Amino acid sequence: MQTAILYNENHKWMIFGRNPAKPEKIIDTNQYLIVAGNQGILLDPGGTELFAPILAAVLRHAPIRQLTHIFASHQDPDVISSLGLWDQVIPDAKLYCSWLWEGSIRHIGLKNIEYMPIRDDGGTIHVGNIDLTLIPAHYLHSPGNFHLYDPVAKILFSGDLGSSLEPADAPFFVDNFDEQTDKMLLFHQRWMPCNRAKQDWIDRVRSLDIEVLAPQHGRVFKGDDVNRFLDWFESLDVGAAMSG
Ligand SMILES: [Fe+2]
Ligand SMILES: [Fe+2]
How far apart are the CA of 123 and the centre of ligand 2, in A? Answer: 22
Question: How many CB atoms sit inside 10 A of residue 153's CB?
Answer: 21
Please write the tens of the pLDDT for every residue from 45-56: 999 999 999 999
Predicted confidence at residue 241, as pLDDT, reads 80
Whether residue 123 is predicted with pLDDT greater than 90 in this model: the reply is: yes
User: Greatest CA separation found in the chain?
Assistant: 52
Please write the tens of the pLDDT for every residue from 93-110: 999 999 999 999 999 999
Q: Minimal CA–CA distance to 132: which of 114, 110, 155?
A: 155
Q: What share of the chain is helix, strand, coil (3-state, %, to 5)?
A: 30, 25, 40
First vs last Cα of the chain: how many Å apart?
42
How far apart are the CA of 140 and the centre of ligand 1, in A? Answer: 8
Please write the tens of the pLDDT for every residue from 35-79: 999 999 999 999 999 999 999 999 999 999 999 999 999 999 999
Whether residue 3 is predicted with pLDDT greater than 80 in this model: the reply is: yes
Predicted confidence at residue 24, as pLDDT, reads 83
Counting runs of H as helices and runs of E as strands, what totals does the chain give? 7, 13
Predicted confidence at residue 4, as pLDDT, reads 97
How far apart are the CA of 81 and the centre of ligand 1, in A? Answer: 12
Whether residue 166 is predicted with pLDDT greater than 90 in this model: the reply is: no
CA distance 213 to 107: 31
How far apart are the CA of 77 and the centre of ligand 1, in A? Answer: 8
How far apart are the CA of 79 and the centre of ligand 2, in A? Answer: 6
134 within 8 A of 146, measured Cβ to Cβ: yes
Question: How many CB atoms sit inside 10 A of residue 209's CB?
Answer: 8
Q: What type of residue is 174?
A: V
Please write the tens of the pLDDT for every residue from 207-242: 999 999 999 999 999 999 999 999 999 999 999 888
Question: Helix 224-234 vs helix 195-205: angle between axes, to the nearest 10 degrees?
Answer: 150
